[in-house]
Chain A
Amino acid sequence: MSEVVLELEDAAFRHSISSRSISKPFGKKQGSGIFSINLKIREGQILGLVGPNGAGKTTLMRILAGIFPIQKGKIMIKDSKSNDLSPISEMELRSVVGHMPEQVRWQGKVSVKRTLQDIAEMRGVSYRVDGIIAMVGLSEIKDSPLDQLSQGMRQRLTLASALLGSPKILLLDEPFNGLDPVAIRAFEKLLVELAKKGVSIIISSHRVAGMAHLVDRLALLHRGQLLIEGTLKDIETEFGLDDRIEIQGIGELPDFNKILTSAESILESRKSEEGWSVVIRNQDESLLKKLVSSNVEITTWKTKDTDILEMICSATGQELDEIGFGVIDSTMMPYKNRGEEE
Chain B
Amino acid sequence: MNDLQKVRTVALRHLSNKLFSTRMAIMLPILILFIPGMAWGFSDPKVMLPGGITPSSATEVMFYTSLGIVFGATMCSVLLSFDGVSKDRASGVLEIKLSQPMARSYQSTALVIGHWFAILIPTWLLWAISFIIVNYRMGDWPSIVDTLTSFISVALILLWYVLFSLIASTHAKEQGTSIAFGVGVWFLFTFLWALVTTMVAFASGVSIGEENNPQWIDLEGILDLFSPNGVFHHLLETRLTDVERGVSPVISWIAALIWSIIPWYWFNSRMKSIQP
Q: How many A-B residue pairs have CB under 8 A?
A: 70
A306: Cβ under 8 A from any B Cβ: no
Q: Which of B1, B92, B99, B103 contacts A124 (CB 8 A)?
A: B1
Inter-chain contacts of A118 with B (CB < 8 A): 10, 13
B10 touches A106 (CB 8 A): no
A83 to chain B minimum Cβ distance, whole angstroms, is 23
Shortest CB-to-CB span from B250 to chain A, Å, is 36
Contact A123 B100 (CB under 8 A): yes
Contact flags (1/0) for B1-30 with A, using CB distance below 8 Å? 100011001100100010000100000000
Chain B residues proximal to chain A, CB less than 8 Å: 1, 5-6, 9-10, 13, 17, 22, 90-93, 95-103, 107, 275-276
The answer to whether the Cβ of A247 comes within 8 Å of any Cβ in the partner chain is no
How far does the alpha carbon of A105 sit from the alpha carbon of B275 in the complex, in Å? Answer: 17
Is A65 in the interface zone, CB < 8 Å from B?
yes
> Is A95 touching B101 in the complex (CB atoms < 8 A)?
yes
Q: Which residues on A are within 8 Å of B, measured CB to CB?
A: 15, 62, 65-68, 91-92, 94-95, 97, 99, 101-107, 109-110, 117-119, 121-124, 158, 161-162, 165
Given contacts A101-B276, A105-B91, A121-B6, are A158 and B100 in contact (CB under 8 A)?
no
What 3 A-B pairs come out closest when comparing CB atoms? A124-B1, A95-B101, A104-B92
Q: What's the minimum C-beta distance from A148 to chain B, rounded to whole angstroms? A: 16
Asked if residues A104 and B96 are in contact (CB atoms below 8 Å), the reply is yes
Rounded to whole angstroms, the CA-CA distance of A119 and B93 in the bound complex is 10
Contact present for A103 and B92 (CB under 8 Å): yes
Of all chain A residues, which has the CB nearest B110?
Answer: A122
Given that A101-B276, A121-B9, A121-B13 are contacting pairs, would A67 and B95 also be in contact in the complex, using a CB cutoff of 8 Å?
yes
Q: Which residues of B contact A105 (CB under 8 A)?
A: 90-92
Chain A residue numbers with a CB within 8 Å of B1 are 124
| A103 proximity list for chain B (CB < 8 A) | 92
Least Cβ–Cβ distance between A154 and chain B, in angstroms: 10
Whether the pair B10, A161 counts as a contact (CB closer than 8 A) is no
